[in-house]
Amino acid sequence: MVPNLDLETALQIISSLETQLSELESATKEYENDLEQVISNLKSDLLESQQQNRCNKKQITELEIQVDELENENIQLRNKIETLQLESDRRLERNVLLEHELLDTKDALQRLKVNKEEATSGETRRNNRPLPSQNKKMKLYKDTIKVSTTCSTLYLQNMTKTNNTARNHCNIPNTQITQSTVIATTSSVQ
């Protein structure tokens, strides 16, 4: 049942409802505008996010390529370091060996100098006071054996004519040596 309303009250109610309806419509429009703004912002954020994602994927790919290149370069550098280390070790070993050879050579040279000095001083003593018994032995050997050579053959010939007991220890049969080894050589030292 509808209450009886007078015309004036009904018009007031209608006017009030129309005002509320217009307020609702304006509020709805505001909400729609706000919603459209939010949707627009979300769309632009989504587009930026997708673009950023593509850029990130591209950067990740580039970084992966750089990592692979750096790993390859690292492997090459390690191999080069190992090669250089081996070469360095070989050179160090060679230097140590050369240093030992140098020390051995210096020692040998020092011994040669000492031997030369001893030989020179010994020869000076012999030249200053020759011993008669040594001169006799030298003459004995000189007169006893004749030595001659032809190319690679060495001839030793007994030159003793008498059976003197002093010379018997030097008597040897005529000998031919066709193979020999040099045990020592002499040279003048300056």
Domain ranges of the chain: 17-129, 132-180
Handedness of CA 127, 132, 136, 139 (dihedral sign): positive
Distance CA 188, CA 51 (A): 96
Q: What is the pTM of this model?
A: 0.38
- Give the CA angle between residues 101, 103, 107 to the nearest 5°: 115
Task: Tell me what pLDDT residue 172 has.
Answer: 47
Task: Tell me what pLDDT residue 177 has.
Answer: 47
For the chain, first and last CA: distance in Å?
155
| DSSP assignment letter at 186 | -
**β-strand partners of 145:** 158
Task: Tell me what pLDDT residue 121 has.
Answer: 80
Distance CA 30, CA 18 (A): 18
Question: pLDDT in tens for each of the 190 residues of the chain?
Answer: 556 778 888 899 999 999 999 999 999 999 999 999 999 999 999 999 999 999 999 999 999 999 999 999 999 999 999 999 999 999 999 999 999 999 999 999 999 999 888 888 877 666 665 555 544 444 444 445 565 656 555 555 655 554 444 444 444 444 554 555 545 455 544 4
At 164, is the secondary structure helix, strand, or coil?
A: coil
Name residue 89's amino acid: D
